[in-house]
Structure 1
Amino acid sequence: MQNSQNNILNDIEAIGKIPAVAHILEIVCNITGMGFSAVARVTSDKWIACEVKDSINFGLVTGGELKLETTICNEIRQHQNPVIIDDVATDLHFSHHQTPKMYGFRSYISMPIILKNGDFFGTLCAIDPSPAKVNTPSTISTFRMFADLIAFHLDAVEQLAASEEKLQQELETAVLREQFIAILGHDLRNPLNAISSSAQLLDRLNHEDRSHRLVNIIRDSSYRINGLIENMLDFASGRLGGGISISLNQDENLEKILIQVVDEMQAVWPDRNIKLNFDFQSPVIADGKRVAQLFSNLLGNALNYSPPESTIEVTAFSNAKEFNLFVANEGKKIPDAAMERLFQPFSRGEVEPNQKGLGLGLYIASEIANAHGGELSVSSTDDKTCFTLIIPTNDSSK
């Protein structure tokens, strides 16, 4: 019952937000010579005046209610056709109707207001205690035009309200996004940095083999957690913000950057063999930190999904046209179904129990490639999987 009442109040408010309604009611009275006009909200159990023009002291004001069963609008709600009466006294159907007698009118016109979605809203109506010539094509077409205009404005008001609600939700989402990114970027990184620093300190102070193994486990876990945080930060910025941003630098020393990433990975996987083949003949305009992040994701992926005794092959070269990077590893073929969604977020191929992650690494790497105007692709056979990055050597992507 409370919801129904709230809906009625919202409908009255919606009509009140349409400045044209007051002018429409005044025009209706002027062209018909009738003294009372109104926009009525008619439901299955209520007749409510949303806006009123009253020069005959009918006594009904905005928000006023008539008993539904006593109104002709109740019948219009059911058949959704207009009702037009020049003079009740000479009208065959309404001369003995209860409504004209109850409310003391002789002329009457009421046009249904049908919303864009087909719902019946109510009526645009007018009455007068004297006869009036209203059953004419021009008057009927004018009322129909005004009813359609009111319906149009009601739809516009509803759409505006929906847009405002959506905007408010987006603002709330933006606040949550900023809080989420802050938690990832600050609150999680602080204890992670403490763990990583403590592991390094323990490694220096204690040289026992068992302690050394435990320190390596801590360091490895810290490295993987940091990678997860980086990927989630970029995912949040890319999907909830304006996309992954890059800062292009002239003549970026990508060879040095790639070697640094390999050294960091080698510290985490000291027993793995990584073979490098570099040939940089032309300078590359790129975001070095982003390329390092992309390469770290690809190399980490290769280390995770290849046999421990195998060799990871990293090939990189640049020429006057483009920069190429290949990261190849032995291992199982990536299934065709997984290949189709490999660069989508939260999507990973078949994994072993120790291969954990969120499935964001390859998505982030692909987005970094796109931001450079390049492309990241993959090929996979029964023997080898190879990820290929190609980006323009210059800034033609901009």
Structure 2
Amino acid sequence: MILDACGTATGMGFVAVARVTDDRWMTCASRDNVNFGLKPGDELDVASTICCEVRACRSIISIPDVDDSEIYRNHPTPRRYGFKSYISVPIIRSDDSIWGTLCALDSEPHEIGPQAEQLFTIFARIIARELDRQDELAAGRQEIEEGHASLQTERDTARLREEFIAIVGHDLRNPIAAVTSGLRMIEERDLLPERRAMLVLEMQRALTRASQIITNLMDFARGRLGAGIEMNAPAPVDLAPVFRDVIGEIEQVAGQPVYSSIDLPRALVADPQRLGQLLSNLLGNAVTHGAPSQPITVDIAERDGELVASVTNQGAPIPPDVQASLFQPFSRNESKRKSLQGLGLGLYIASQIALAHGGRLHVSSSEEAGTTFTLRMPAKPA
């Protein structure tokens, strides 16, 4: 509407809003009825325009007829662009900076009266105020977004605080209580050997669980402080014994059998301690959530340039909406929130270890095939 009104008031065929800086002249909006050829986004050499003079003098320049103007009769700009009439008004922001110009030109002379100049000036002020308003709205949106982000941070902090308290108050207390109770019962002189052996196994399970919780918690805290997952992979290492040791440790405390297959014919560049921790977390998750009467299957091999390690357990499938958040910290099945079972840190730490090795963890879960967590990472021999 502004461009149409300016064109009607002057009779000029080309009207534009131009962004003008020290080194650029760019069309932002245009009305071109004379095929001048400038569309939004098109640029001119700013030094070749009269708009740069408008910017320098901060005032309107109007030329009804170039041939009658002593100043612009021999000016290179009219000859270069072929116009006879011209008007340009600076767009001055509220901070007194020059943003650009509202300008018009035509290949024929046109009378430019005081009313036309006043109209251009008013429209330039309207454009400037609109630019100011847009900046204010953008600043307001940013403040709102920052406020939302701050509120979300506070909520996250509060949630993390509650989760840490839950870990210390429940998940760590339980295995410690189990060991304390077991030691007290072992001290009884009339305890049968079979019962004593069972108590020792239960205490081993509790200590293994407590160790995993503490390790994952320390890694999580280190990550939140910006240190990330520490890696130590200076040279190729034979990972098969590492994985066998982890599987053996879990087999001693698992209630269900663990079947494993490991095919790693060569040493690979990786952090053996971290990959052992990853497998331990996956196996611990399988023991906790798998059906007690069904076996856990571990398959580790090098295939097509990748180290592929999968852990499968049987039991109720994981719903798709839960799968989407499994690798987030403190992610748990909502049905288990009241009991605070399953920290949600093990899978998160495992996924971070995978990422640190250039790989990823994936999950698939169905009633027929069970639940499988799979690591895929580059197999680097050197």
Instruction: Give the TM-score taking structure 2 as reference length.
Output: 0.49
What TM-score do the two structures reach when normalised by structure 1? 0.47
